[in-house]
Structure 1
């Protein structure tokens, strides 16, 4: 069996696990999650990454190892070079991360494969999640930000629609967590951190906010998703966990536009990027 590890790198963490390619699932006994401060120096970041990766691969034969890494952009995924100039990983700008990791792990750069984090989510759902067997899948992650990705039967690509024009601003302003925070504050003068806290509020407040969100999400699907001609829409991210609260209104809106699009909610949520990064490495390797 091929030794393969999936890694999800975010602004505050590195999460990884070995993956069983035959069962198409994470080997949960190998799961590691460690804090990494993306605003630290490159050496501090590399040290944290290498420490975690060594813990997760110390029982594997190096020559037979494939590593898939889900990484936020902007990033040159083929060459493994960070292009992030603001926010997280600033000290990694123009650094060849693939080469650095390979040298520090004493493996070949050809054993390391990078994939966009949004695309990794969908690769994971196609490989071992809720949309196995589908050929045309549009994926949306709804959380702190907005991730959009399309699977064409071969690979998933990042569609980068977060800053596409929407109403009087951009898509992310209406579909990410901050919209719930801002709308609730405007409606009540109170504070929530996201949909989880909204579920503790009075039903009439919940309904009003979720209905408004369902309307916006449906407009987004009509405007930006349908020209991909997807067989199914898969939703991940923390807001997806509240889908039952806006599902009916959302589907009613799609029906008004003569759209009958099956919706699947992520089966593996946070693990999707790990599984997707590993499956991408298997394809490339």
Structure 2
């Protein structure tokens, strides 16, 4: 049995052959493309199938694991995404059956996994989360992705809507917060956290924003770490790459609260979801 890992987002898809053995993973024949998911059913499925087929190559006996953002009926591969514009044409359709037909494989050869679960599963199998039995996975970017792992079970935590301070978690932890805080506090227009590291950007403002963000992350994580008896946190997403600038504040807050834990940045990067999406076939 050969495994094909697929990671689908709102405007992008990547796919590759995945080789798993003894908590080690290798990626081969990697392909990716941007996809206009505002289009019709045929154009979306065709674009996705083309990339998956390129990764699949001449392989015949394959299992295809797909990491997909929610809301989704993952077991049946049915899209429940309807209010985001992207993928709207696929609402309530069996994407599993549509892809199976397009790729000329059986629907039972395709498995869907929540993208946050796939990230944490991949990192727990072969990356930054290998040492933890209980852990929290957080992806930091335009949105806030989250998953929890308790022993061998990984589940989407849906913490982006969790009540936090004067709003919800995603108001304070993600790209939107950096943009809003830079505008409201310093009258600066930025596109995201990466702008704070640009040459010529005021290092004092950059330091203040990162420190404030890092504290908020620690404050957000603390009750969930306690509740889950978590041994560590795994961070992914674009903002995780700037961890050196805000994680000291996160760790300092957790130490002050009496619950210091390792916070590891993803070792597998974008490959983690490809690997995690294939693990349901291995577990079975």
Q: Which TM-score applies when normalising by structure 2?
A: 0.95
State the distance in 2 between where 1:49 and 1:238 align: 23
Aligned twin of 1:35: 34
Instruction: Tell me the equivalent position of 1:97.
Output: 95
Change (3 A) 1:27 1:222: closer
The answer to whether the 8 Å contact 2:16/2:52 transfers is: no
Q: Secondary structure at the match of 2:48?
A: helix
Unaligned runs of 5+ in 2: none
Aligned partner of 2:74 in structure 1 is 77
* 1:147 is the counterpart of 2:145: yes
Give SS of 2:206's match.
helix
Indicate the residue corresponding to 2:207 in structure 1: 207
- How far does residue 104 in structure 1 lie from its aligned partner after superposition? 2.0
Q: Secondary structure at the match of 1:242?
A: helix
- Tell me the distance in 1 between the aligned counterparts of 2:272 and 2:128: 10
Q: Say whether residues 1:113 and 2:111 are aligned partners.
A: yes
Matches within 5 A, 1:7-26: 7-22=6-21, 24-26=24-26
Q: Which residue of 2 aligns with 1:244?
A: 244
Deviation at 1:133, TM superposition (A): 4.1
The match for 1:218 is: 218
Query: Over residues 239-259 of structure 1, what are the superposed CA-to-partner deviations in whole Å (9 max), with x where a residue is unaligned?
Result: 111111112221111111101
Is contact 1:16–1:274 with CA below 8 Å preserved after alignment? yes
Contact 1:66 1:282 (8 Å CA) reproduced: no
Whether contact under 8 Å (2:46, 2:102) holds in the other structure is no
Q: Say if 1:123 and 1:280, in contact at 8 Å, map to a contact too.
A: no
Q: After TM superposition, give the deviation of residue 4 of structure 1 in Å.
A: 0.1
Q: Which runs of 4+ in 1 moved over 6 A?
A: none
What aligned pairs does 1:177-216 form with structure 2 within 5 A after superposition?
A: 177-200=175-198, 201-216=201-216
Deviations 1:210-245 (A, max 9, x none): 111112111101233321111111111111111111
